[in-house]
Structure 1
Amino acid sequence: MNYNAYLSVLLIAATCCSLVIAYLCWKRRELPIAISYGLGVLTGAFYTFGYAFEVVSTSIAQIQFWLRIEYIGIPFGTVLWFVLVLQYTGRQKLVSKWVVALLMIVPIITFISHNTNEWHHLFYSSMTLDYSEGFPLVTMEKGPLYKLHVAYSYSFFVVGMGMLIQMFRKATPRMRKQIAFMIIGSWGPFGFTLIYLSGLFYLPVDISPFGFIFSGIFYLWGIYQFNMLRLAPLALQKVFASMQDAVMVFDLDNILTSFNQSSKRVIAGINPSWIGQPAVQVFSQYPVLLERVRQGPTLENKIQISSRADQRFYNVHLSYIHDHVQKPAGKMLLLSDVTEMVRSEEILRDNARQLSELNTFKDKMFNVVAHDIRDPLAVLINLVEIMEDDLQDVEGDYEEIVLEMSQQIQNTFTLVESLLDWFRSQSGGMMFNPVERDLAQTIQTNLRMMQIRSESKQLRMINEIPKDTFVYADKEMLDLIIRNLLSNAIKFTGIGGTIRLQAAYESDAVVVSVSDTGGGMTSDQASMLLKEAYPVSSMGTAGERGIGLGLTLCKEFVHLNGGKIWFESIPLQGTTFYFTMPTRPEASTIRIAHEGVRE
């Protein structure tokens, strides 16, 4: 058995090795670098497969046939290898359709000229058989197109090898091992061919195809030991298990190796050309994510990412990817969109806060009611007892007692009316119905309701609020605020006094003032008003007894409508109450704000 048969078996083994690598690349075909690498080794498979049968062929015709098989791959191998180097060294942007098309011009000329050589003999000048080794070997005189093919291929080999060496010099120690395997593996086909073409040694057979055996060994070793195909297969199961989440895979040097489609919804502009880029470039607009990748595996936490459209919240989880021997081989960044959950939590927290404040206010109101309703009812009971004891004396003067009873009954009725207003407005929880209202008209309506009380004390009621002054507020609440402030002013203004109502615009609100010419308040009284949980009512100028609930309701209702309330008082000169109401819907929010009171 001649040794050419052994060579044929060895070349078939090299073909199988190349096909295995091509299959691995096909499994990773979502990566551009895997496509170029897979096509490159496939061209080598055509070369080794054709030469395996060429060395056992017995005629020129058979050899020419197998040469045609070899040249399906030979012309294109170098260009595909060069494309692989561009992608591997981070120059993916240079790999466009037009660039690849230009690079393929000479290989296509080589392919066509080889298959048409019998017409022009520009590729091979002549072909003869040599039997010196005991089996037929072809001897060929190379033509100009063959020399063009060789020069073209080695030009790209020199440039590509320079890129790999440059990358090797700048790489980290872990990455250098991987690049070294790339360099050594690449020298296989090119190095063996260079030795054969140089003629320095007597070589009866073309050893170029055997270079693929050499490179195949190193590439396979590199793939399984150093994950030369960029780790993506190790994370495929996790990626498919959570396709709604954004998944990004990095190697141990924080180089992006893969990502899924959902990542495009999170990282603006990400595309396959980013593969091979360091995390510092991938996350140039997202420093929080960059810090997570640099820190390594951490507990899941929540971050906020802003885009042109809106702000989204994501749970971030970073974990190691382990290889077949359970050694860390890379990192997987998982981003789960939890925006709706976060917003729901915010709504629930806001509702809980409002409910808590409502319950607090409810308790306060019940205490106020219990405190204020007890006294007038007790007085009524005492007065009725006096009337019962003294009714036998018909000559007695009951006018003062009757007037006092009337006043207490009126106060009690006012309290009940206020309570009804409060509970009616709160029947839907904290919800209210703000609408746009004409403030001047609302004031005038409430002034008419107070006409009998003001005329009894000969008060001048002056409304200086201009027409078409609109506020955005709840109707019932606004009426109660105005009615209580007017009632309070009438109560503390002496006979013949003046009550003045004014309004002024301030930013997106209207400031309403109710001024009286009453006796004002002392500093001690002023410091406690609008702040006490259990307000104590004072006696009016005509002996009126208040219920202490009105100002408490005013403060709460003003705040519910998004406004503020405060007052100014000068002893013996009078008091002015101020409150604000928003002028447009955007300025009105449902809130109970415990703001400081301006004094």
Structure 2
Amino acid sequence: MKQNFLLFHTVVELSAIVIAFAVFIVTWNTRKIIDNNYLYFVGMAYIFIGTLDLLHTITYPGLHIIPGTIYYTNQFWIATRFLEASTFIMGFWFLKRKKVLNGDVTILSYCVVTILLTLAILYWKIFPVCYIEGVGQTHFKITAEYVIIAMLFFAGCLLYSSRNSFSASVFRFLMLSLFFAILSEFCFTLYVSIFSLPAEIGHYAKLISFFLIYKANVETGFTKPTELIFKDLKDNEEKYRTLTENLPELIFRFDRSFRCLYANYALEQFLSLKHGCYTGMKLSHLGFPSSFEHLLIKMLIAVKQTKVTQETNFDLNEGKYANSFSIQVIPEYGLEDHEGTYLVICYDITDLRITEHRLMELNNTKDKFFSIIAHDLRNPFTSLISFSELIYKNVNRLSPEKIESLAMRMNDSAKQAYILLENLLHWSKMQTGVLKPDLQELDVVELLNEIKHISSSTAVAKGIEIKIEELPSARIVADKQMMSTILRNIIANAIKFSYTNGSVVLSAYDRQDEVLFSVMDSGVGIEKKNMELLFKADSSFSTPGTQNETGTGLGLRLCREFVEISGGSIWLESEPGQGTTIYFTIPAQGVSFNKDISV
């Protein structure tokens, strides 16, 4: 019986040792591609676990390979199981680390520990005695077995909490391996003789435990590498697929026959069917607008022929669609050319194109204004330079009356330049959003009288009378400087287009929650086709006055913007030869308004 058990023990242990060495060999040769630090660490440690198990085998009583009165085999058993349980626990610390495990350091560390344990048992003889002939297991041995069981149970808890780091089959194999290791240790707490039945059952459980480690580390590593080595890669693929599915851009993949291999969820917002219905359909059957479809086919053909990424911007205005896209068609090639696919990414740049178009309009308007102003500024400054030079060179020969006349004309030119520059300053502030209304209550009577006084000098010089009629009882809420600019520009226009000895009539009326202002002249009037051009921001329409006065047309456009910012509206009525009346409204006191003041 003793010889049979000896043979049984030797066969079981050598089988376990072979498995342990096989686990190490596979782990070592796959260390550059294995991406699970737990399996990497455990696999590296198993050559040393197998080495200690080999020493446990050859020191077994009856083999007489290493003689002695101490049962070294039990000491090696405890040392090996402690090392194995510690390995199962420490592996989870490396599992949480993103950095790849250093295999050389791991081997060196385990080599040192294995040598120290071997010396402690065989040479220094300081390892506690575990078995006494005729007595059985020592208290240290039994206590150590229970400690190892607790360690293995703790490793099982850690494995369960980290189950998402393993494929389902690997997790199952590792959990079962820990179960049979615990069963093995429990059996070895029960026997009295090392040749007893509990010892035999314990060896069976250990063999099963090692076999399950083999299933997890060796067989799974060879037969199911995608589940073990590339599990993280699969997780990343799923993560990036989810990201692609939820991107707002249209993303497609076509094969060489232009059949749809993939389309993301954004397609549902663009076409009518569910995005999954398009898989396997040809591009011409997907239901794209014809212009969009023709462009994609053209780009795919170009990529297929040149193997170079194609990019373009496309404005889709067809049927219910009004979109702008930035389209990329990217060639994708596998190991063989016939496996090539094409990735199509369509970025919706509709808002960007609208903003770009608006900026171009604003820039063109700005260029046009500056061009007009640069031209019109030359006139008053040319007059100032000419008249001042004439006075400077002929001051002793000119009569006082002539000097007075020249000075008056210089003054008119200076005023013209000043008004133009002031309007330009206000307009530029409007465009940048710097100019904001300082709202206050204003008395309409005082406001009109003040503007009449300011404009009287220009009117008197041309022989025109300014009258005020129909004053309201209500007060308005507005910015005083803006109101002065509005009225001053409108009155200046009325004087400009009025004939000598004519009149300009200022009026204001109460009208519900606002005050209606009007400035009426008896001048040349405006043709109907030109009336709409006066207030347009992109128009440079301007005509000379009754005495050939020039202008830029900027003043009335500035008036429109100031009136709208103040919460009102502006318009005009005119007939050629019968004069013009310009109307605008301003909110009355007690009325609030909310206007976007950015232009």
Same-fold status (TM-score > 0.5): no
TM-score, length-normalised on structure 2? 0.45
TM-score, length-normalised on structure 1? 0.45
